[in-house]
Amino acid sequence: MSARPCSWTVRLTAAAEADFEEILRWTVEQFGEAQARIYAETISAALNDLAAGPTVVGARKRDQILKGLFTLHVARNGRNGGHFVMFRVGRAPDREVIEVLRLLHDAMDLQRHLPAAEESS
């Protein structure tokens, strides 16, 4: 079975980039630089998997939180993780886009940390 070409562009919002940096800063403080590098690879693997589109294995539609919202847990390939990638589908003139809204810990109230509905249209 051949792999499907990656046709989706994955873009992180400023909030998602800040989340990524904060997650890694906290991980360094709590567990050290080596563990932070491993966790950065784990999160990056989840983001890279999204290049296959919103139907990647593990993605869930979460309309009950926000219309058009999807989540993907970062735990991949036998690696543990404690965060969700919160994303929506968009389109650019020449490509399909996955817009990563936030990277949130799985114990957080996800709805509370998303942009207001009018910003998500």
**Which tops the pLDDT comparison, 78 or 30?**
30
Calculate mean pLDDT across residues 24-42: 95
Contact, 71 vs 86, CB < 8 A? yes
In this prediction, residue 2 carries a pLDDT of 42
Q: What does each C-alpha distance from 113 to 84, 92, 95 come to in angstroms? A: 12, 25, 28
Question: Do the bridges between strand 95-105 and strand 8-12 make them parallel or antiparallel, or are there none, so unpaired?
Answer: parallel
Site of tokens 């993605």: 59
Identify the CATH number of the domain defined by range 10-108. 3.30.2310.20
Percent of the chain surpassing pLDDT 90: 62
pLDDT band at 112 (very low <50, low <70, confident <90, very high): low
The pTM of this model reads: 0.81
Contact, 8 vs 98, CB < 8 A? yes
Q: Which helix (H) or strand (E) holds 28?
A: helix 14-31
pLDDT band at 115 (very low <50, low <70, confident <90, very high): low
Torsion of CA 61, 65, 68, 71, to 10 degrees: -40
Site of tokens 């509370």: 112
Q: What is the pLDDT of residues 43-62, one digit of tens each?
A: 999 999 999 999 999 999 99
